C-alpha cells in the first residue's frame, strides 16, 4: 500500500511522547498519526494539538473512548461523561474518529454489559454529532472478552451500528482482532459505508501474552492484503493505522522502527 | 452438579501417568476419566485399557484426533490415517468419544484449511461408524486459530455437523473456548441432539499465556452453570469433563487437587 495512507498509531512507539512521535512521523514522511489520551494528557491537550498542527500531521484517530460497563449507575454515568471529554479532546486535536474500546463486564453478565455498551454509545451520539467526531466501535479479539471488550465480533459491531441508526457511528476493523472470524468477509461487506478505521499489524504464532504480543505486518499469519482489499471494496479509503503493541518492539530504537514500518506497509498491506 | 457426572480429564494432572490418574480417580470416587493419546502411548494401549477397566472407570473421551490441514496431500493423507488409529485406540480404551481438535492452516489460507478439516472428518466417518466411536468437533477459542484450530465457533461446528449428515459426528462444548461468543446460547440450542461432550474450567483475568492459563471453576468470569443448563436443555446428559491446562495447577499435589475439583464441581458447575 502507498505511504500516503499510512498512519502511525503512537502506542507502537510506547515510550515516545506526543512530540517525539510527531517528529518521528515528520522525519519519516508519514502523513497521519493516531494519538492516545494518556499520552496527550501527559503533554497537555492544547500543546499536543499545537504540535501535530505545526508538524502538518493529520490525526486519524484518538484512542480511546468506550469502557462503558461498570458496577454502579454512578460509575456508568461517569464513564459516559468521560467519553464526552474524549470527544472534546478528539475535536481539539483535529482527530477524525474516536476509537471505542467498549469495555468488559464488571461481573459475569455479558448480556447486561453488552446492553450497557449500546446505551452508553447512544448517550454520546448527540455530543459526537455536535463536535463532528465519528465514533468507531472496535470489536476486540475474544481473548479480551474478560477484561477489555464484550464486543468481540464485527457482526456485533455492525448490528449495533444498524440499531443506533446514526451516521455518526461506524466500525473500526483491526486485523488482529477479527482475522479468525469465519464470518469476516461477509461482515466487512455488511459494514459497507460505515467503516471509519482500519488497523494493521499481525498475529504471531505461537501465541504469547496477547496484550503485548502483536506482530509486525508480514511476521504472522494474517491475510492482510485480502482484508485491506475487502475493506476498500466496502468503501473505506481513509488512513490505515499501524498499531502494534509488543514489548520487543517497544524495546527497539524507534527511528529504525519507523523505517521498517514503511517497508512492511508497502510490502504487506 | 452431582459428582456422578464428573469426568477427570487427565491433562489437568499433566505429570500423572494413566495408572496414577486412574488410581487418583478411584481414590477420589470420580466415575469417569478422559485420556490423552500421548500418555496412553507411554503406558501402552493394552495396558492403559486394562488399567481403566480394572479400576472400573468409564472413559468419557480420548483426546485427541483432528489436526487435518497440512501442506502436502501426502501429509494430509497421513493425518487422516492417524485419525483412524485414534479411533482404534478409542475403541480399545472403551472411550465413547474421540475429541477432534481440527488443526491450523499450514499457510495463511483459513478457507482452504476449513475445507480440509471437513473433508478429513468426512473421510473418517465410515471408520468411526464401524468402531462405534462418536467424533466430537471441538471449536477452540479464536486465540488458537493460528496454531491449533481453524474451527473457532460453535456455529462453524454446527454447520459442519449439519453438512456431514452423520449421527456419528457431534460437537464438544468447552466453556473456555466458547464463553465469549454472542451467538453462544442460540448455537447451543441449535446443537440439540448432537452435543457429545461438555468440558468445564474457567477464564482467568488478566489473561496469561492462553495455552497454560485456564482457571479452576469459580476462579474466573464464565457463567458455567448457565452454560451447563443450556447444554442439558439441548439434550446432553453425559459426563462433564474437568479439563484445566494450567502450569500452576500442574505444580500442585494432585490428590489435593482432585478434592478441590470435586468441591468446585459441586459448587460451580
Q: How many angstroms separate the CA atoms of B177 and B142, rounded?
A: 8
Given this model, what pLDDT does residue A186 score? 98
Q: Check the CA dihedral B177-B180-B184-B185 and report its sign.
A: positive
Give the model confidence (pLDDT) of A223-250 as tens digits: 999 999 999 999 999 999 999 999 999 9
User: What is the residue extent of each domain of chain B?
Assistant: 3-268
Residue pLDDT, tens place only, B135-191 = 999 999 999 999 999 999 999 999 999 999 999 999 999 999 999 999 999 999 999
CA A116, A122, A127, A131 dihedral sign is positive
Q: How far is A22 from chain B (nearest CA, A)?
A: 32
- Name the burial class of residue B88, with classes exposed (0-12), middle (13-18) and buried (19+) by CB atoms within 10 angstroms of its CB: middle
- B125 in contact with A at a CB cutoff of 8 Å? no
The three grid cell numbers given for residue A54, joined into one nine-digit string: 505545526
CB distance A62 to A97 below 8 Å: yes
Interface contact flag, B142 A105, Cβ < 8 Å: no
**Closest Cα in chain A, distance from residue B146 (Å):** 6
**For a pLDDT cut of 90, what percent of chain A falls above it?**
99
Nearest to B147 among A206, A209, A223 (CB): A206
Q: What is the DSSP letter of A65?
A: E
Contact A146 B220 (CB under 8 A): yes
Q: Residue A105: what pLDDT?
A: 98
| Rg for chain A, CA atoms, rounded | 17
Rounded CA-CA distance A16/A36 in Å is 11
Residue A45 — very low, low, confident or very high, per pLDDT cuts 50/70/90?
very high
* Average confidence (pLDDT) over A119-123: 98
Angle of CA points A179, B174, B5, to nearest 5° = 175
C-alpha cell of residue A76 = 456508568
Smallest Cβ–Cβ distance between A143 and the set B143, B147, B220 belongs to B143
- List Cβ neighbours of B205 (8 Å cut-off, separation of 6 or more): A104, A146, A147, B220, B221
CB contact under 8 A, B180 and A142: yes
Which run of H or of E encompasses A172? strand A169-174
Q: Is A156 on the interface with B (CB under 8 A)?
A: yes
From residue A135, give the alpha-carbon distance in Å to each of A76, A166, A167, B193, B244: 18, 10, 9, 43, 39
What would the pLDDT profile of B68-117 be if each residue is shown by its tens digit?
999 999 999 999 999 999 999 999 999 999 999 999 999 999 999 999 99
Rounded to a whole number of angstroms, the distance from the CA of B177 to the nearest CA of chain A is 10
Chain segment A161-198, per-residue pLDDT in tens? 999 999 999 999 999 999 999 999 999 999 999 999 99
Contact B110 A180 (CB under 8 A): yes
**Residues A204 and A220: beta-carbon distance below 8 Å:** yes
Mean pLDDT for all residues in chain A: 97
A73: burial class by Cβ within 10 Å (0-12, 13-18, 19+)? exposed
A and B: number of Cβ contacts within 8 A: 87
Contact B180 A110 (CB under 8 A): yes
What percent of chain A shows pLDDT beyond 70? 100
From residue B60, give the alpha-carbon distance in Å to each of B31, B135, B239, B263: 10, 12, 6, 20
| Residues in contact with B201: Cβ distance below 8 Å, sequence separation at least 6, in sequence order | B174, B175, B176, B214, B215, B216, B217, B242, B243, B244
Smallest Cα–Cα separation from A144: which of A194, A170, A110? A110
Q: Are A170 and B169 in contact (CB under 8 A)?
A: no
Residue numbers in B near A205 (CB within 8 A): 104, 146-147
Q: Are A127 and A138 in contact (CB under 8 A)?
A: no
Here the cell at position B212 is 497454560
What is the pLDDT at residue B28?
98
Cα separation, A209 vs B88, in Å, equals 37
CB contact (8 A) between residue A146 and residue B207:
yes
SS3 assignment for chain B? CCHHHEEEEHHHHCCCCHHHHHHHHHHHCCCEEEEEHHHHHHHCHHHHHHHHHHCCCEEEEEEEEECCCCCCHHHHHHHHHHHHHHHHHHHHHCECEEEEECECCCCCCHHHHHHHHHHHHHHHHHHHHHHCCEEEECCCCHHHCCCCECCCCHHHHHHHHHHHCCCCEEEEEEHHHHCCCCCHHHHHHHCCCCEEEEEECEECCCCCCHHHEEECCCCCCCCHHHHHHHHHHCCCCCCEEECCCEHHHHCCCHHHHHHHHHHHHHHHC
pLDDT of residue A22: 98
Whether the CB of B153 is below 8 Å from some CB of chain A: the reply is: yes
Distance CA B1, CA A170 (A): 44
Chain A residue with Cα closest to B203: A146
Fold of A3-7+32-200+226-239: TIM Barrel (3.20.20)
Asked if B209 and A211 come within 8 Å (Cβ–Cβ), the reply is: no
B172-191 residues touching A, CB cutoff 8 A = 179-182
Predicted confidence at residue B23, as pLDDT, reads: 98
Asked if A216 is an interface residue toward chain B (Cβ–Cβ < 8 A), one would say no
Collect all residues of chain B within an 8 Å Cβ-Cβ radius of residue A182.
Answer: 110, 114, 152-153, 155-156
B207 with A207: Cβ contact below 8 A: no
The answer regarding whether domain B3-268 maps to CATH 3.20.20.150 reads: yes
Report yes or no: B221 at the A interface, CB cutoff 8 Å.
Answer: yes
Cβ within 8 Å, pair A152-B182 = yes
- What SS3 class is residue A64? strand
pLDDT of amino acid B229: 98
Q: Are B5 and B236 within 8 A, CB to CB? A: no
Amino acid at each position: 500500500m502507498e505511504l500516503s495512507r499510512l498512519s502511525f498509531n503512537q502506542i507502537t512507539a510506547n515510550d515516545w511522547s506526543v512530540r517525539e512521535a510527531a517528529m518521528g512521523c515528520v522525519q519519516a514522511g508519514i502523513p497521519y498519526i493516531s494519538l492516545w489520551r494518556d499520552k496527550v494528557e501527559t503533554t497537555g491537550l492544547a500543546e499536543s494539538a499545537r504540535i501535530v498542527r505545526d508538524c502538518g500531521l493529520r490525526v486519524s484517530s484518538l484512542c480511546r473512548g468506550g469502557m462503558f460497563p461498570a458496577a454502579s449507575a454512578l460509575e456508568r454515568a461517569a464513564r459516559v461523561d468521560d467519553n464526552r471529554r474524549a470527544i472534546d479532546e478528539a475535536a481539539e486535536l483535529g482527530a477524525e474518529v474516536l476509537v471505542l474500546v467498549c469495555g468488559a463486564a464488571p461481573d459475569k453478565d455479558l448480556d447486561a454489559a453488552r446492553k450497557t455498551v449500546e446505551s452508553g454509545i447512544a448517550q454520546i451520539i448527540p455530543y459526537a454529532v455536535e463536535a463532528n467526531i465519528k465514533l468507531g466501535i472496535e470489536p476486540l479479539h475474544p481473548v479480551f472478552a474478560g477484561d477489555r471488550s464484550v464486543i468481540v465480533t464485527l457482526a456485533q459491531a455492525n448490528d449495533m451500528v444498524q440499531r443506533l441508526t446514526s451516521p455518526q457511528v461506524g466500525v473500526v476493523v483491526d486485523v488482529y482482532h477479527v482475522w479468525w472470524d469465519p464470518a469476516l468477509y461477509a461482515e466487512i461487506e455488511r459494514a459497507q459505508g460505515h467503516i471509519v478505521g482500519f488497523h494493521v499489524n499481525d498475529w504471531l504464532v505461537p501465541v504469547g501474552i496477547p496484550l503485548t504480543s502483536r506482530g509486525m505486518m508480514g511476521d504472522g499469519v494474517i491475510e492482510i492484503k485480502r482484508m485491506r482489499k475487502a475493506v476498500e471494496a466496502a468503501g473505506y479509503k481513509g488512513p490505515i493505522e499501524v498499531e502494534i503493541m509488543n514489548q520487543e518492539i517497544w524495546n527497539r530504537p524507534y527511528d529504525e522502527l519507523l523505517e521498517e514500518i514503511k517497508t512492511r506497509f508497502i510490502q504487506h498491506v
